[in-house]
């Protein structure tokens, strides 16, 4: 099994990660505490429950919104972005 550390991108920055580490764990290890903004008020959100129940840690991964960062395993070369609200602004009429 390959245990070599790798990197992914978060809002244009390079983030180090370990194999098997969730996106949320890698972001917290890097000092990031929030990576989503609420629809109303733009309040910052990050990891709250850590088990995929609360949806506070939603991020956009490789252009696809609504991934729970606490459940998604980081992968080499991923592009992760802060999510604004529900992450569906491109679907608005």
**Domain containing residue 81:** 6-85
Query: Tens digit of pLDDT for each residue in 41-89?
Result: 888 888 888 888 888 889 999 999 999 999 999 999 999 999 876 665 5
Decide if 5 contacts 26 (C-beta within 8 A): no
**CA distances (Å), origin 91, targets 9, 22, 38, 46, 87:** 25, 28, 17, 24, 9
- Phi, psi at 89, each rounded to 5°: -55, -30
Q: What pTM, to 2 d.p., does this model score?
A: 0.84
Q: Is residue 14 assigned to a domain? A: yes
Total number of domains in the chain: 1
Q: Could you tell me the CATH number of the domain that includes residue 14?
A: 3.10.20.440
């Amino acid at each position: 099994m390959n245990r070599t550390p790798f990197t992914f991108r978060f809002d244009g920055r390079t983030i180090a990660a370990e194999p098997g580490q969730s996106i949320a764990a890698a972001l917290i290890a890097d000092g990031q505490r929030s990576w989503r903004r609420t629809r109303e008020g733009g309040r910052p959100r990050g990891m709250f429950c850590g088990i995929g129940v609360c949806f506070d840690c939603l991020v956009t991964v490789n252009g696809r919104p609504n991934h729970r960062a606490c459940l998604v395993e980081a992968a080499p070369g991923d592009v992760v972005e802060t999510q604004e609200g529900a992450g569906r602004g491109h679907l608005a009429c």
